[in-house]
Structure 1
Amino acid sequence: MKNWLGLDALKRGEDAAFLLLRLYLGGFLIWGVWDNITSAERMDEFQGFLTALNAPMPALAAPVSVWAQMLIGVLLIPGLLTRWAGLLLSLNFLVAVALIAPTQGIFPDIPRELFGPMMCVLAGLLLATHGAGAWSADARLFRRR
């Protein structure tokens, strides 16, 4: 009865779930910053957005954030250095939450604008603490003998 109630059988899908998380999140991050990388106008818009949020050094913060997200996406898809990518993801989006929250208000009504960035913080923490799963470059590179 305990195995049924605890849904222990789902554990068999853990590696597939981590693979899907990595593929979707990595692809989304790359897609989300591609326009900033390929268009100076879009990068300028992002810099303006950061300026409006009173981000420190927006001219530096914009490309650092964009290229960090690109790197994270590139690492997550094959599951390479996933724990590091997860930490960087959490840090990058924690800064976003810290910049957005004062403009939107916070507890007890967490605004919808924070949902996406907060989910990236939490997904990054999950990947940093659990790793990429068995179906990853990390599993092959760092396999314990």
Structure 2
Amino acid sequence: MRRKRNNWLTLPQLAGGADLALLATRLVVGAFLIYGVWDNIVSAERMAEFEKFLTIKGFAMPWLMARLSVYAQFLVGVAFIAGFATRWAGLVCAFNFIVALVMVDAPLGIRPAFPAAALVVIGLIFATIGAGRIAIDAMLSRR
């Protein structure tokens, strides 16, 4: 009887869906990251706007930082979707959004800072636990 009660509280039967949950998270976050920077990649005008924004926020070398941030987010998005080099992508994601938090979002308060904070945490999760079994990383590690 006690064991059934603990199962009800801890729901161990859901653990079997962990790889699907990781896949869903990778797909959603990866698509979000790509969507968020795609306009900067295809439009020099939008990239210039982002560079101007970074200048206003006091970033060193805003021309370079704009491109590093945009292409880092794009490549992280692709890596998350594919489940390739996911731990490295997680580290890059966390670092990029820590910078965004410190330099841009934190002074605005918790609600505006939440998306960047969530992306730091998601990056750290992927950096520590990896992509799961439904990923290129898993296929490579089996070889």
**Pairwise TM-score range, normalised by the shorter structure:** over 0.9
d(CA) in 2 for partners of 1:118 and 1:53?
18
1:126 match = 125
The within-5 A match list for 1:89-104 is 89-101=93-105, 103-104=107-108
Compute the TM-score of the two structures, normalised by the length of structure 2.
0.93
Q: Deviations over 1:36-92 (max 9, x none)?
A: 000001001111111111111111100010000111011110100100000000000
1:138 match = 137
Moved over 6 A (4+): none
The correspondence for 1:58, drawn from 35, 55, 62, is 62
Which structure has more helix as a fraction of its residues? 2
Compute the TM-score of the two structures, normalised by the length of structure 1.
0.92
For the structure 1 residues 83 and 7, does the alpha-carbon distance in structure 2 shift closer, same or farther, using more than 3 Å as the test? same
Q: CA RMSD in A?
A: 1.2
d(CA) in 2 for partners of 1:10 and 1:83?
24
2:31 and 2:81 in contact (8 A); partners too: yes
Q: Any gaps of 5 or more consecutive residues in structure 2?
A: none
d(CA) in 2 for partners of 1:141 and 1:82?
12
Report percent identity of matched pairs: 50
The one-letter code sitting in structure 1 at the alignment partner of 2:113 is L
The alpha-carbon deviation at position 8 of structure 1 amounts to 0.6
- For these two proteins, the number of residue pairs brought into alignment is 139
The alpha-carbon deviation at position 2 of structure 1 amounts to 1.4
